[in-house]
Homo-oligomer: A and B are copies of this chain.
Amino acid sequence: MPDVTDTATLNRSEQKRRAILAAGHELFLKQGYQGTTVDQIAAKAQVSKQTVYKQFGDKEELVFDIVSAVLENAAAPVLERIAALAETTDLEGDLAELAVEYLHTVLAEPVTQLRRLVIAEAGRLPRLAEMYYRRAPATTLEALAGTFGRLNDRGLLRDTDPSMAADHFAFLVVGRPIDQALFFGGTRAKADIDPAHYARHAVEVFLAAYRPTVY
């Protein structure tokens, strides 16, 4: 039964892969990228050092794959909500709901800790910083710009530079909280604000500037 054997082998290999990713994730966040060795990751994952190298190439590839996997899951719900906003029938209400979800997403502890890790290594691992920035903030800002362009076509937002409007909306909402989270963690940054209140005020400022003038 070669199929069963192949599947069993594949599963064992996949299990080891996941154990290595989990061990690397935990140790990198706890000890930093520089403070963690492949030996420690292998020991924690209960595999040989050889297996880590065989599966991931090296420590840099491993951290790249870990960051990539976290981003895959974190960004999707906010991006879906931004896309749906283009067809809104309640601009102020939907902007406020998007703002609240955006705050909760960027202040979730695994995301803020990973952000710190990537920033910590940005000078030594520029490819990792590039990947993170492209897949997280840049993708969100581009999605916002696309939706704001469509809302302008529909006459719901002023005719203006959609990328600038995207910067303004995003950082009115998450600017201070995300900055604070880098220093104190997402949990404390979130405790410092009432997300619904904070989101509503950001939306008020945004709409004061970007709602079309009615004569």
Q: A residues near B, CB below 8 A?
A: 29-30, 32, 34-35, 113, 116, 118-124, 126, 129-130, 132-133, 137, 141, 161, 164, 167-168, 170-172, 175-176, 178-180, 182-185, 201-202, 204-206, 208-210
Report the Cα distance A36→B109, complex, angstroms.
28
Q: A119-B120, A170-B176, A176-B167 are in contact. Are A129 and B183 (CB under 8 A)?
A: yes
Q: Establish whether residues A129 and B184, one from each chain, have CB atoms under 8 Å apart when the complex forms.
A: yes
A179–B176 CB distance below 8 A? no
Query: A208: which B residues are within 8 A, CB to CB?
Result: 208-209
A191 → B minimal CB distance (Å): 15
Q: Is the interface of A mostly helix, strand, loop or mixed?
A: helix
| Contact B175–A170 (Cβ < 8 Å) | yes
Would you give 7 A-B contacts (Cβ < 8 Å), ordered by A?
A29-B123, A34-B35, A120-B121, A126-B184, A133-B184, A170-B175, A171-B172
Write out the residue numbers on chain B whose beta carbons fall within 8 Å of the beta carbon of A35: 34
- If the complex has contacts A32-B34, A116-B119, A119-B119, are A175 and B183 also in contact, measured as CB distance less than 8 A? no
Max chain B C-beta neighbours (<10 A), residue from A132, A170, A201: A201
Residues on the B chain within 8 Å of A184, using CB: 122, 126, 129-130, 133
The complex places the Cα of A120 from the Cα of B123 at a distance, in Å, of: 11
